[in-house]
Amino acid sequence: MEQGKDRGERAPLFGKWGYWYALVAGFLLLCIGVFYFLTKHFS
Amino acid sequence: MSRPDWIVLVVTLLAIIAYGLYKSRTSRDLDGYILSNRTVPWYMVLLGIMGTQASAVTFLSAPGQAYTDGMRFVEYYFGLPLAMIVVCITFVPIFHRLKVYTAYEFLERRFDLKTRALTAFLFLLQRGLSTGISIAAPSIILSSLLGWNIIWTNIIMGGVLIIYTVTGGAKAVAYTQQLQMIIIFAGMAIAGLIVVHRLPPGVGWKEVMHLAGRAGKLNIVTTGFEGHKGFDWNDRYNLLSGIIGGFFLALSYFGTDQSQVGRYLTARSLRESRLGLLLNGLVKVPMQFLILLLGVFVFVFYQYNRRPVFFNESQLTTLAHSRYGDSIRVLRERYNAEEQERVALANSGGGVRLDQLEVLQAADRATVKRWLGEVGGDANDTNYIFLRFVTDYLPVGLIGLLIAVIMLAAWGSIAAALNSLASCTIVDFHRRFSRQPLAPEREYRLSRWYTLLWGIICVAMAQLAYNVGNSLIEAVNVLGSLFYGVVLGVFLVAFYRRKVGGQAVFISAVIVEAGVIVLAILGKRGIVPLSFLWYNAVGAVGVLVLSEVLQAVIGRARKYDKNAMS
């Protein structure tokens, strides 16, 4: 298996996978933050 | 249903069939029939992935779930976006480079034939059963709410789509899913706007959120520690089970389930497959949040409007013909009188009497559920809440559209499932075990026959599920999690543990699968309280660890044999 080569391939839109990890982690944290605010604020 | 509703429903369904047939021209070989000649753009991959995952029950159950249990179900999807990245980096490029038709084909190249056959068989078993249930579950709801004949409902829900799925294969599935998702989003958005529009004047977003929050419906983030001394492992939806269990489930579903793999392998390039998957990761959580929010709005709507004592009317008819016949009649009369008073009070500002009525009505609802349990009826009306709201309160024409939305959601996921079941049968079994190579035209014709055969099997299974009852539906709902983890474990070993061979991974998969099933049985009996989402993690990690140990033992034994021989 040539996984090293696959991992080296350009990620769509941003080129590097690190940006996708950062985007998704940030997006999830934002969602959880907003949801947590809604849960606490309206309970 | 009124005539305009019927017209909307029939025209929408016929339009989808016609569109599917119009788009069904492909090359007469496996590449055309199974993979749409790899010509699908990223946005269709995205809609196809979403349409395959979101079945009719998604749109029926989720609002009802929010109504009864609150919005914490959204946590189930927290692991999905991260899983999408891992699938894109690890699974997709290898499938593309090897130009496989099914995910299991790769396992023979990496391990051996028996590992491929085992995982393909587990897929056929699990996907075949769950497709039968995904026809049965919405059919039962529609037939009992609208008084439709169950056999005909099953045929329309799971049989009619066979026309374009058999004819056009993956291409027809992709194009119809695109149109279906547009209609589904439009229908759900209109339903949401109508709920908001029909709230009393002066009840805005803030009031809705406060009311829902006070009733415990905005429990979007839960930790699993609420009301317990420690972490509740049996709690289905919380932050931890959603991120970890949901990650493994999504990794397994999108990386190893042919119904999803078959969608993104139709993409015109590796980049388009990846883009569809990654964007799915970003839209899934907000989409599920909005569907659940619709359920919360329906809950608030019912605070100001009349709500039935039990949302599944057919079960009340069952009670009326049971030993509780007189009791239920008296209870319903009292409940209706209280309901009239409650709605009037709610719309005029409430008060202590309103709180008293809420308590009395909650007791009435609990009594109905207890009686249903005692006479062997279905005491859970969660899946009926949204559709009951649709039929009771939406205007003429929109009822037909919302029923069409449910039907189309079912068609999208069932069509993809039938296509993938046929792909797996022809590629991993028929073609693989055929003594002579098959001509492309014959493979194409066989694929169509297998699609038809699986369609008939799944509709028959749906009818069987109706006859057996709810216990089977509940069992099959957790069935995926019994197998997904182990299959994922096999793929993870294939990708990440290069020294582990076919023998070790096969034996590990069989042992861990047996272990997961034992765990589920013990869980059902309350001996090992573990929510089903965790089975995915247990299965995957179990295969990873055990195959490593077994490989070490097998490797040492081989070394010993070699030394003994020399």
* pLDDT higher than 90, residue B358: no
Tell me how far apart the terminal alpha carbons of chain B are, to the nearest angstrom.
83
DSSP conformational letter for A11:
B
- At residue B343, the pLDDT reads 87
The angle, 0 to 180 degrees and rounded to 10, between the axes of the packed helices B440-468 and B150-158 is 150
Partners of A15 in beta bridges: A11
Interface of B with A in 405-444 (CB under 8 A): none
Most B CBs within 10 A among A10, A35, A37, A40, hence the mutation to make, goes to: A35
Judged by CB atoms closer than 8 Å, whether chains meet at A28 and B78 is answered as: yes
- At residue B556, the pLDDT reads 67
Cβ-Cβ contacts under 8 Å between A and B: the total is 79
- At residue B472, the pLDDT reads 53
Judged by CB atoms closer than 8 Å, whether chains meet at A3 and B289 is answered as: no
Contact residues, chain B, for A32 at CB < 8 Å: 78, 221, 239
Residue with the two structure tokens 């692991």: B79
- At residue B352, the pLDDT reads 80
Distance from CA of B312 to the nearest CA of A (A): 29
**Of A30-34, B307-311, B562-566, minimum mean pLDDT range:** B562-566
Most B CBs within 10 A among A13, A27, A38, A40, hence the mutation to make, goes to: A38
Contact residues, chain B, for A23 at CB < 8 Å: 282
Give the residue on A whose Cα is nearest the Cα of B106.
Answer: A1
Residue A17 has its nearest CB partner, among B89, B210, B495, at: B89
The ipTM of this complex is 0.85
Q: Which of B20, B33, B100, B38 is nearest to B441 (CA)?
A: B33
Strand residue runs (E) in B318-433: none
Averaged confidence pLDDT in chain B: 88
Over residues B523-530, the mean pLDDT reads 79
Whole-angstrom distance, CA of residue B164 vs CA of residue B419: 11
pLDDT tens, residue by residue, B250-291: 998 999 999 999 999 999 999 999 999 999 999 999 999 999
Please classify residue B355 by burial: count the beta carbons closer than 10 Å to its beta carbon, then call 0-12 exposed, 13-18 middle and 19+ buried: exposed
Q: Which CATH architecture has domain B3-303+392-477?
A: Up-down Bundle (1.20)
Whole-angstrom distance, CA of residue B483 vs CA of residue B362: 39
* pLDDT higher than 60, residue B470: no
Specify the higher pLDDT residue, B225 or B143. Answer: B143
Judged by CB atoms closer than 8 Å, whether chains meet at A12 and B275 is answered as: yes
Numbered ranges of CATH 1.20.1730.10 in chain B: 3-303+392-477
Whole-angstrom distance, CA of residue B366 vs CA of residue B15: 44
Whole-angstrom distance, CA of residue B353 vs CA of residue B345: 8
Distance from CA of B245 to the nearest CA of A (A): 16
Judged by CB atoms closer than 8 Å, whether chains meet at A31 and B285 is answered as: yes
Q: Is B275 on the interface with A (CB under 8 A)?
A: yes
Residue A12 has its nearest CB partner, among B209, B271, B281, at: B271
Q: Is A41 on the interface with B (CB under 8 A)?
A: yes
pLDDT tens, residue by residue, B132-180: 988 988 888 888 888 888 899 999 988 889 998 998 899 999 999 999 9
- At residue B563, the pLDDT reads 54
Q: Which tokens in the block code for residue B99?
A: 């130009």
Residue A21 has its nearest CB partner, among B85, B210, B282, at: B85
Most A CBs within 10 A among B43, B208, B218, hence the mutation to make, goes to: B218
For chain A, the domains span 14-43
Non-local (6+) Cβ contacts of B42 within 8 A are B267, B271, B272, B273, B275, B276, B279
Give the residue on A whose Cα is nearest the Cα of B273.
Answer: A12
Q: How confident is the model at residue A6 (pLDDT cuts 50, 70, 90)?
A: very low
- At residue B473, the pLDDT reads 52
Judged by CB atoms closer than 8 Å, whether chains meet at B221 and A32 is answered as: yes
- At residue B79, the pLDDT reads 92
Contact residues, chain B, for A17 at CB < 8 Å: 85, 89
pLDDT tens, residue by residue, B45-90: 999 999 998 888 888 888 888 998 889 889 889 999 999 999 999 9
How many C-beta neighbours within 10 Å does residue B245 have? 27
- At residue B565, the pLDDT reads 46
Q: How confident is the model at residue A3 (pLDDT cuts 50, 70, 90)?
A: very low
Interface of A with B in 1-40 (CB under 8 A): 1-3, 6-7, 9, 11-13, 17, 20-21, 23-25, 27-28, 31-32, 35-36, 38-39
* pLDDT higher than 90, residue B380: no
Judged by CB atoms closer than 8 Å, whether chains meet at B89 and A7 is answered as: yes
* pLDDT higher than 50, residue A4: no
Q: Is B93 on the interface with A (CB under 8 A)?
A: yes
Over residues A18-28, the mean pLDDT reads 93
Percent of chain B with pLDDT over 90: 48
Give the residue on B whose Cα is nearest the Cα of A14.
Answer: B275
Residue B209 has its nearest CB partner, among A11, A24, A42, at: A42
- At residue A2, the pLDDT reads 44
* pLDDT higher than 80, residue B511: yes
Partners of B29 in beta bridges: none
CB B96 within 8 A of CB B265: yes
* pLDDT higher than 80, residue B562: no
Specify the higher pLDDT residue, B557 or B252. Answer: B252
Q: What is the pTM of this model?
A: 0.87
Q: Which tokens in the block code for residue B47?
A: 């809609």
pLDDT tens, residue by residue, B307-320: 999 998 888 998 99
